[in-house]
Structure 1
Amino acid sequence: MSMTEEGKKVLAVLDEKKIPYECMEHEPVYTVEEIQERNLWHHKDGIGAKNLFLRDGSGKRHFLVVVRDDKQADLKQVRAEIKSSRLSFASEERLERYLHVSPGSVSPLGILNDTECMVEVFFDQDLKQYSYMAVHPNDNRATLWMKTEDLVKIIKEHGNSFAWIRI
C-alpha cells in the first residue's frame, strides 16, 4: 500500500523541520474502533486521539478539537471551554476547504493545509501526560507516532491558534 501525495507532503515538511516520527503504513482506517481492532495504537509512552472538526453556529469559526481516543467529548462542555456559540460537526466540504482532507483522515497535521490559519486548535489537557501521540499524516493509510510537544510546536509555528482545554 502506497501513501498518498498528501501524506508524502506531510512527511516532507516533518523531515525539512527535522521533526522525528515513526511511520507505519496500513490498510485504510476510518474510525478509532477500526484502529483499535487492528491494534495500530501501541506505544509505551503514547496514545491515539480522536480529532473532531467543528464549526460554530454561524459557520464563521472552525475548530479542531483533539481528545484521547477513549474519551467522549461533550460538545456543550467544549463550547464553554472555547467560548463559542453552539457547536456542530463541520461538513465534508468545509473539511476539504480548510484542512484538505476527507473524513477518516482528519489529523492535527491537516493544519499544514490551512494556509489562512482559520482553524482554531484545541487539545484536551489529558493529552499532556503522554510523550507521544498517534496521528495520520493526512492519509488514513498511515499512522505517525510523534512527540506531543513536536506536534504542538508545528501547529503553533504554522500560525494557527492553539490552546489546552479541559474536556
Structure 2
Amino acid sequence: MPVERLKQYLDEKGIQFQCIQHAPAYTAQEIAEAAHICGNRLAKTVIIMLDGKMAMVVLRASARIRWDRLCNELGTDFIELADEQEFAEKFPDCEIGALPPFGKLYGMKVYMDEKLANEPELAFCAGNHAETIRMATSDYLEAVKPIVISKGFIQPDVTPPMQRIRPGRQQLHRHP
C-alpha cells in the first residue's frame, strides 16, 4: 500500500496526522468532497524540471501556476512541467496523480505556495486515489522544510480587476 512509506515517515518524526479512507477520487473537487475537506486546504503536488533537476511545487488544489512569475520568483529563465513518464519511476509506491508532497522521501526540493503554508491545516493525497492525509500545516512545514514562495500562483476563480477604459472609448453595459 503506497501510504505505508509516508505513514512510517510521519510516525518516525512524531507527527500527528489523520488518514482518511474514501472512495477513489481523481479531481480536487472529488477528493475534497470524499474526504470532507475545505478546498483551500487541499494541496496538490506538481513535479517540475528546474535547472535540469526534478522538484516539487505544492499549492492549493484550486490554484494554477503562472510559469512566468514562478520563473521570476525562483530566479531562473526556464521551468517546465515534468512529464509523467519522466518521474513515474521516482515514485514506484505511488499512483500517478496522487503524489504526496514530501520531496525528502523522493530526493527532491519542495517549493510551497505561501497561501497554503498559512492555512492552519492541510490535506493531500497519500500516494493513492483512495486515501487522503490531513495534518497541521506547522507539522508539515517542520518535517518537509519547503521553500515557501509568495509569487507564481493564481486563483482562477478570482475575477481580475476591471481595466481602465481609455478616454473616448465607449463602455459597454449589460442590461438586465
TM-score by length of 2: 0.74
The residue identity in structure 1 corresponding to 2:137 is: T
CA distance in structure 2 between the partners assigned to 1:128 and 1:155 by the alignment? 12
1:67 aligned onto 2:63? no
Partner amino acid for 2:8?
A
What's the offset of the Cα at 1:39? 4.2
Q: Which runs of 5+ in 1 are unaligned?
A: 157-161
Q: 2:100 aligns with which of 102, 107, 110?
A: 107
Distance 1:84 1:107, change over 3 A: farther
Task: List alignment gaps of at least 5 residues for structure 2.
Answer: 154-176
Alignment-derived partner of residue 159 in structure 1: none
Given the alignment, which residue of 125, 147, 163 partners 1:163?
147
Report how far residue 89 of structure 1 moved: 1.5
Query: What is the aligned-residue RMSD (CA, Å)?
Result: 2.1
- Residue 139 of structure 1: which of 120, 128, 132 is its match? 128
Q: Once the two structures are aligned, what percentage of the paired residues are identical? A: 21
Note the alpha carbon deviations across 1:26-83, whole angstroms, 9 max, x for none: 12222213224x342425xx71122211113x6x122211111222221111121112
Shift of 1:139: 2.2
- Give deviations 1:98-150, integer Å, cap 9, x for gaps: 344342212213x2432xx3x22111111132111001222221011111121
Q: Is 1:98–2:90 an aligned residue pair? A: yes
Greater radius of gyration (CA): 2
User: Aligned pair count?
Assistant: 149
Residue 14 in structure 1 maps to residue 14 in structure 2:
no
Taking structure 1 as the reference length, the TM-score comes to 0.77
Q: What residue in structure 2 maps to residue 88 of structure 1?
A: 80
Distance (Å, rounded) in 2 between the aligned partners of 1:142 and 1:112? 20
The answer to whether the 8 Å contact 1:30/1:103 transfers is no
Partners of 2:86 and 2:64 lie apart in 1 by: 23
- Whole-angstrom distance in 2 between the partners of 1:29 and 1:144: 14
The answer to whether the 8 Å contact 1:99/1:113 transfers is no
Question: Structure 1: which 4+ aligned runs deviate by more than 6 Å?
Answer: none
Say whether the 8 Å CA contact 2:48–2:57 is kept in structure 1: yes
